[in-house]
């Protein structure tokens, strides 16, 4: 069994490293740059408006068709993005790629905001109504129905749906989350992995049986609370080390560019490795380019897809430029990054994943690991709920609605298994997730690039004269270049 797991670990590592080579990084960041230019830096010019939409009353109700409010749709998307990628994923990037890896998270997150805007916009614009009255949407639909070449659109939509389903069942949308949650409670409270597995499976099962409305209802209440809890704990840690913050940023920047830092060179790290880990974990965390947020936004009650794009954009801002920054600073200002393999090699220590973040909190706050453990549970729990829905939508696209319950039971079984897989083999789960994240991203990025002109043209008109642009959109004037118009 050990030999089989060793071989599987070696294989998944090699495949994930190939899929997240320079070419994938160029595709993700490059698409974000193209969309940034096409929308004229919309993530900077319209950030204030997007945050006002987030905090305004209109997002709590919404207007038009849909299953949930725009705010609930965003909270569902945030439930998926603000997960253990923010705790375990950021820490793992630092442990393997050095403290400079998060800088590349910030870079990819900045351009990823434009990508997320396009995903949210297209998710609502090209959604469909299912036979049971619920909304169906996401990259598989805007690839299938909007991309000019029918065969290309069908191929892109099918690949995305298959990869999304696998990610939700086997990767970072399921097993990696339960894995991190179980590890946090084992390290902090000595809870056996089996007990954590049983409890998590039961708690997730209670909610997902109710579908998107139940998931959104829980996310709408849970997500703001869990972010504030983690935010408060991280600010205490950073506040007590506030004089170290400038030095922390110096270390982050130097490490990101492979410059020798403090008392020695980074062991086994290179600029390419820092960039790869930073972008890889950044995408895992904020999901810009994966297309998953488009699935959540498609469920929103909305007759204005641009507002959904702006709301989707705030998700990347909150996740990467706020929450991930807090995790990074707590690890660097406390010096815990020096107890990782990336900094001085295995002899210095092997802190990684949730344990690294928990050690940073505990070094300042008595029982600070308790905050991380609770946050890890809440982050992971909310992510499991959202990704079950994402995978279910991909499953419906491929197989229809009749086998939906079978999918949910499979999701719960694999969640249970993920919590039991610990030790050095936990990286199998992360690398499987990384690989299929890449397979989700590729067809989504292709569809976004093919539809960039559509997004840019409407957005330019919308911010010049909203009412006129929306009237033209509803009349189908923007769709003349598309193979199939929305709603057909």
| pLDDT over 60 at 345, yes or no | no
Q: Tokens 């491929």 sit at which residue?
A: 398
Place of tokens 């987030």: 54
Contact criterion met (CB below 8 Å) for 363 and 236? no
pLDDT tens column, 279-317:
777 776 788 898 998 998 998 888 899 999 999 999 899
Nearest of 282, 230, 229, 237 to residue 109 by alpha carbon: 282
The residue-averaged pLDDT of 383-393 equals 90
User: Rounded to an integer, what distance in angstroms lies between the CA atom of residue 106 and that of residue 324?
Assistant: 9
CATH level 2 (architecture), domain 2-474: Up-down Bundle (1.20)
Q: What is the pTM of this model?
A: 0.87
Average pLDDT, stretch 58-68? 65
Q: What is the 3-state secondary structure (H, E, C) of 183-210?
A: HHHHHHHCCCHHHHHHHHHHHHHHHHCC
Paired tokens of 440: 């989700």
pLDDT reading at 342 higher than 80? no
Number of neighbouring beta carbons within 10 Å of residue 346? 10
Q: Per mean pLDDT, which range of 28-32, 175-179, 350-354, 362-366 is the poorest?
A: 350-354
CA distance 154 to 262: 53
CA of residue 256 relative to chain centroid, distance: 22
Give the mean model confidence (pLDDT) for residues 420-431.
Answer: 75
Q: Identify the band that residue 485 occupies on the pLDDT scale cut at 50, 70 and 90.
A: very low
Tell me phi and psi for residue 215, to 5 degrees: -60, -45
* Percent of all residues in the chain with a pLDDT value above 70, rounded to a whole number: 90
User: Which residue, 193, 202, 205, 174, is CA-closest to 420?
Assistant: 193
pLDDT at residue 1 tops 70: no
Look at residue 353 and tell me whether its pLDDT is greater than 70. yes
pLDDT for 162-173, tens place per residue?
Answer: 999 998 998 778
Looking at per-residue confidence, does 55 or 418 come out higher?
418
Q: Which residue has the higher pLDDT, 350 or 136?
A: 136
Residue 291 sits at the vertex; the CA angle it makes with 397 and 22, to the nearest 5 degrees, is: 125
- What average pLDDT score do residues 376-385 get? 84
> Dihedral angle at the C-alpha atoms of 443, 448, 450, 453, nearest 10 degrees?
180
pLDDT tens digits, residue range 313-334? 998 998 888 888 999 999 999 9
Ramachandran assignment for 257, one of left (phi > 0), alpha (psi -120 to 50 degrees), beta (any other): alpha
Mean per-residue pLDDT of the chain: 85
The pLDDT score that the predictor gives to residue 391 is: 93
How far apart CA 383 and CA 405 sit, in angstroms, is 19
Measured CA to CA, the distance from residue 92 to residue 98 in angstroms comes to 9
Q: Residue 68 in 3-state DSSP?
A: strand
Quick check: 54 and 71 in contact, CB under 8 A?
Answer: yes
Question: What are the strands, taking DSSP E only, across 351-460?
Answer: none
Go through the chain and tell me how many residues it has: 488
Element (H, E) at 215: helix 211-240
Give the separation between CA 164 and CA 391, rounded to whole angstroms.
Answer: 6
User: Which pLDDT belongs to residue 416?
Assistant: 94
Q: Are 459 and 39 in contact (CB under 8 A)?
A: yes
**Which residues on adjacent β-strands are paired with residue 300?**
68
Give the mean pLDDT of 456-464.
Answer: 94
- pLDDT confidence tier of residue 61, bands split at 50, 70 and 90: low
Helix axis angle, 22-38 relative to 101-125, nearest 10°? 60
- Which residues, at least 6 apart from 436, have a Cβ–Cβ distance to it below 8 Å? 163, 166, 167, 170, 171
Q: What is the pLDDT of residue 262?
A: 42
Per-residue pLDDT for 361 more than 80? yes
Higher pLDDT, 258 or 222: 222
Which secondary structure element, helix H or strand E, spans residue 119, and what is its range? helix 101-125
Cβ 93 vs Cβ 278: under 8 Å: yes
Greater confidence (83 vs 202) lies with 202
- What digits encode the pLDDT tens for the residues 224-283? 888 888 999 999 999 999 999 999 999 998 888 876 444 444 444 466 677 777 777 777
State the alpha helices, DSSP H only, in 39-88: 42-45, 47-55, 58-61, 70-81, 84
At residue 349 the predicted structure's pLDDT band, cuts being 50, 70 and 90, is: low
- At 133 the three-state DSSP class reads coil
| Neighbour-count burial for 351-366, b at 16+ CB within 10 Å, e otherwise | bbbbbbbbbbbbbbbe
Angle at which helices 368-399 and 404-420 cross, to 10°: 150
What's the pLDDT at 483?
53
Contacts 24+ apart (CB under 8 A), 261-264: 261/99, 262/338, 264/344
Q: Given a cut of 70, is residue 402 above it in pLDDT?
A: yes
Find where tokens 């840690």 sit: 237
Nearest of 8, 7, 2, 92 to residue 432 by alpha carbon: 8
Section 115-122 average pLDDT: 96
Q: Is residue 209 predicted with pLDDT exceeding 70? A: yes
Q: Would you say residue 395 has pLDDT above 80?
A: yes
- Tell me phi and psi for residue 46, to 5 degrees: -115, 15
Residue 487 C-alpha from the chain's centroid: 29
Give pLDDT, residue 267: 44
Question: Using DSSP, how many helices (H) and how many strands (E) does the chain show?
Answer: 26, 2
pLDDT computed for residue 203 by the predictor? 92
Nearest-10 crossing angle of helices 70-81, 368-399: 110
User: Residue 71: its pLDDT value, please?
Assistant: 81
């Amino acid at each position: 069994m050990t030999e089989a797991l060793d071989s599987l670990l070696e294989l998944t590592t090699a495949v994930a490293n190939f899929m997240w080579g320079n070419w994938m990084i160029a595709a993700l960041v490059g698409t974000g740059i193209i969309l940034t230019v096409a929308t004229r830096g919309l993530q900077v010019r319209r950030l204030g408006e997007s945050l006002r939409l987030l905090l305004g009353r209109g997002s709590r109700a919404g207007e038009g068709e849909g299953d949930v409010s725009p705010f609930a749709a965003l909270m569902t998307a945030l439930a998926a993005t603000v997960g253990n990628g923010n705790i375990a994923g950021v820490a793992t990037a630092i442990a393997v790629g050095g403290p400079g890896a998060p800088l590349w998270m910030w870079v990819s997150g900045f351009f990823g905001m434009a990508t997320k805007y396009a995903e949210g916009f297209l998710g609502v614009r090209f959604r469909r109504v299912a036979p049971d009255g619920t909304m169906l949407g996401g990259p598989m639909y805007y690839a299938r129905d909007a991309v000019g070449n029918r065969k290309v659109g069908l191929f892109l939509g099918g690949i995305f749906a298959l990869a999304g389903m696998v990610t939700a069942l086997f990767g970072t949308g399921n097993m990696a989350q339960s894995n991190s949650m179980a590890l946090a409670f084992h390290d902090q409270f000595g809870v056996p992995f089996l007990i954590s597995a049983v409890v998590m499976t039961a708690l997730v099962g209670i909610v997902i049986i109710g579908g998107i409305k139940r998931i959104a209802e829980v996310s709408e209440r849970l997500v703001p609370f869990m972010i504030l809890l983690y935010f408060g704990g991280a600010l205490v840690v950073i506040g007590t080390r506030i004089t170290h913050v400038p030095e922390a940023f110096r270390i982050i920047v130097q490490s990101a560019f492979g410059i020798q830092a403090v008392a020695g060179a980074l062991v086994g790290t290179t600029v390419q490795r820092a960039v790869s880990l930073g972008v890889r974990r950044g995408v895992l965390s904020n999901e810009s380019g994966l297309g998953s947020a488009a699935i959540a936004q498609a469920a929103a009650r909305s007759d204005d897809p641009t507002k959904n794009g702006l709301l989707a954009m705030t998700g990347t801002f909150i996740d990467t430029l706020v929450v991930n920054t807090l995790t990074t600073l707590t690890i660097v200002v406390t010096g815990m990054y020096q107890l990782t393999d990336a900094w001085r090699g295995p002899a210095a220590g092997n802190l990684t994943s949730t344990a690294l973040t928990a050690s940073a909190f505990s070094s300042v706050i008595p029982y600070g690991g308790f905050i991380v453990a609770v946050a890890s549970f809440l982050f992971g729990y909310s992510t499991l709920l959202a990704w079950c829905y994402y995978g279910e939508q991909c499953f419906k696209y491929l197989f229809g609605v009749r086998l939906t319950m079978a999918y949910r039971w499979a999701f719960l079984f694999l969640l249970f298994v993920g919590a039991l897989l610990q030790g050095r083999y936990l990286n199998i789960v992360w690398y499987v997730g990384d690989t299929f994240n890449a397979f989700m991203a590729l067809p989504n990025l292709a569809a976004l690039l093919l539809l960039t002109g559509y997004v840019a043209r409407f957005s330019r008109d919308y911010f010049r004269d909203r009412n006129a642009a929306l009237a033209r959109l509803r009349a189908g004037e923007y769709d003349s270049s598309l193979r199939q118009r929305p709603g057909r």
